[in-house]
Amino acid sequence: MPILQPIGRTFLIFLATAGRLSLFAANGLSHSVRPPIYMRLITRQMIDIGYYSLPVDGSTAIFTGMVLALQSYTGFARFAAESAIPNVVVVSITRELGPVLAGLMVAGRVGAAMAAEIGTMRVTEQIDALDTLATNPFKYLVAPRLIAGITTLPLLVFVADIIGVFGGYVVSIYKLGFNPSIYLKNTIDFVEVEDVASGLVKAAVFGFLITLMGCYHGYNSKGGAQGVGAATTNAVVSASILILCFNYFITEMFFAR
Amino acid sequence: MSPRTNGAAQKIQIRGLHKSFGPKVVLDGLDLDVAVGESVVVIGGSGTGKSVLLKCILGLLTPDSGSIKIDGEEVVGLGSRDRDRVLRKFGMLFQNAALFDSLPVWENVAFGLIQGEGMDRTDAKKVAIEKLAAVGMTAEVGELSPAELSGGMRKRVGLARAIATAPEIIFFDEPTTGLDPIMGDVINDLIVKCVQELGATTLSITHDMASARKIAHRVAMLYDGKIIWAGPVANIDGSGNDYVDQFIHGRAEGPIQMQVRAD
């Protein structure tokens, strides 16, 4: 049946890509835990992913917290439930908005840069040069990025959580007229360790997905500048979709009881 | 350049090498020997598989079939640890030098010493500066980024990186492509000088006959996936092979028909 052929072909391509990606991830993770570990490269990647993402991450978090407080107020006022705003802000930020928005921002900033850098190294034979210098490209290029992504994203999200809650606090106190002490007490009393921990676990998974997609698409790019451009786009799009997809499954793992 | 060894043991021995990409057959039963201390230059048109040959020897591509022996050891299908051990015998100058953009020049040169041999960074930097001096570059160049170098300087840095670990075998991929004739000759002289000092075995691929004549002991012509002629560089003008004659004189007419569109 001619109509079934394209469906079958697409399905086979999907399976082949999933297989290649799984092997790539397994190879990268395996090199991440076997010596030699390149601490200098890991540190450099941690600075790139964490420190240089702070302005983007912080501004996203503070405006998200501010909008969240404002929108919650306008909605909750209909039910005379304005006092729940500190609770809504802190839970929304720590469980969902902090990790997801930080993940998407880092995917756009860092995932794209990784794909472009490694893709350029591929098309200019720098990865072949690594091989001929008896240096495994997975160990030198992929493993440090994976380790840095997994360890740095939770730190970044923790900072985003604090800034986001602060954004909600500022709007609630200076615009909506909340009492500062009561707002802070409600926030601290309501938030639980599990709320923050689930967000940090999500961040570690998102960090893995972003760096994996950046490395995978860059490593397999071909065809010169156009290929590097396509790799960059694919890295950001696939990381963003995977972040939203895995966000659901991790949320279900933590809270669907 | 005159050969330093005659009738010596084979450093590289290739037999029946096949490599295809889909329906396109690139290497079709290629045989080639390179003796210890010998400098062999493989010539051939664009797209005839010269780079594929080098990549198969280095393990960057896996041949479909055939045998590649380095110092008598079969390298096709080696595990990653053994492959790393074999690769330590090699140095390579890439066509566009393939310098690492994220590292300064000296660290590019010292890369194999630091990562491959575990040398201390301070000692490796001293060696890198010595190697840069050997290719006519000052220590100040070592602090520059590769992006700040001209094409000729990049080739020289690539050559310094290729010789930094004192390899037994060096590959040169189009060493003079993209350079003006004078800089091309400078690179050729540096290659001859460095290889003689190291006593290395070399395999080069090029289109540039002036370069081939200068750096080769022996020339091999690759056509249609096979070596169709091989002999001492001095015999190339009297090879009696129409394909070689057409190629070395750069004539459009002859048995080699250039493909003007991709199939």
**A129 and B96 in contact by Cβ < 8 A?**
no
- State the pLDDT at residue B247: 85
B145: tokens are 């980024």
Q: What is the 8-class DSSP label of residue B77? A: T
Among the partner residues A124, A134, A136, nearest to B98 by beta-carbon distance: A124
Give the per-residue pLDDT at A81.
Answer: 77
B161 vs chain A: nearest CA distance in angstroms? 9
Pick the residue of B58, B61, B92, B165 with the most A CBs within 10 A to test the interface with A by mutation. Answer: B92
Rounded to an integer, what is the distance from CA B232 to the centroid of its chain?
A: 18
Phi, psi of B88 (to 5 degrees): -65, -15
pLDDT score, position B2: 42
SS3 letters across chain A = CCCHHHHHHHHHHHHHHHHHHHHHHHHHHHHHHCCCCCHHHHHHHHHHHCHHHHHHHHHHHHHHHHHHHHHHHHHHHHHCCHHHHHHHHHHHHHHHHHHHHHHHHHHHHHHHHHHHHHHHHHHCCHHHHHHHCCCCHHHHHHHHHHHHHHHHHHHHHHHHHHHHHHHHHHHHHHCCCCCHHHHHHHHHHHCCHHHHHHHHHHHHHHHHHHHHHHHHHHHCCCCHHHHHHHHHHHHHHHHHHHHHHHHHHHHHHHHCC
pLDDT digit string (tens) for chain B, length 263 residues: 444 444 458 899 999 999 999 899 999 999 999 998 888 999 988 888 898 999 999 988 999 999 999 998 999 988 878 888 888 899 999 988 899 998 999 999 999 999 878 888 999 999 999 989 888 888 899 999 999 998 888 988 998 999 888 899 999 998 888 778 887 888 888 888 878 888 889 999 988 888 889 888 999 999 889 999 999 988 888 888 888 888 888 877 778 776 655 54
Task: Work out the minimum CA distance from B201 to partner chain A, whole angstroms.
Answer: 16
Q: Please tell me which of the candidates A126, A135, A136 has its beta carbon nearest to residue B98.
A: A126
Pick from A132, A101, A124, A139: which is nearest to A215 by CA? Answer: A139
Q: Which residues pair with B68 in a beta bridge?
A: B14
**CB contacts, 8 Å: B121 with chain A:** none
Predicted pLDDT of residue B261: 52
Nearest to A129 among B59, B84, B94 (CB): B94
A contact test, residue of B52, B94, B115, B203 with most A CBs within 10 A: B115
In total, the C-beta contacts within 8 angstroms joining chain A to chain B are 54
Sheet hosting strand B218-223, strand order edge to edge: B90-93, B169-173, B201-206, B39-43, B218-223, B226-232
Give residue B6's pLDDT: 45
Interface touch A129/B100, C-beta < 8 Å: yes
**Rounded CA gap, A219 and A221, in Å?**
6
Dihedral Cα B242, B246, B249, B250, nearest 10 deg: -170
What are the contacts of B109-114 at 24+ separation with CB within 8 A? B109/B142, B109/B157, B109/B160, B109/B161, B109/B164, B110/B164, B111/A133, B111/A135, B111/B161, B111/B164, B112/A133, B112/A134, B112/A135, B112/B161, B112/B164, B112/B165, B113/B164, B113/B165
Q: Which residue numbers of B have CB closer than 8 Å to A's CBs? A: 55, 58-60, 80, 84, 87-88, 90-92, 94-96, 98-102, 111-112, 115-116, 161, 171
- Chain B environment of A131 (Cβ under 8 Å): 58-60, 87
Inter-chain touch B115–A132, beta carbons under 8 Å: no
Q: Supply φ then ψ for residue B21, to 5 degrees.
A: -120, 100
- Provide, as residue numbers in chain B, all residues whose Cβ is less than 8 Å from the Cβ of A118: none
Positions of chain A with pLDDT lower than 70, given as ranges: 1, 257
Q: Residue A136 and residue B80: Cβ atoms within 8 Å?
A: yes
Q: Which residues of A touch B87 (CB under 8 A)?
A: 131-134
- The conformational region for residue B136 under phi > 0 = left, psi -120 to 50 = alpha, else beta, is left
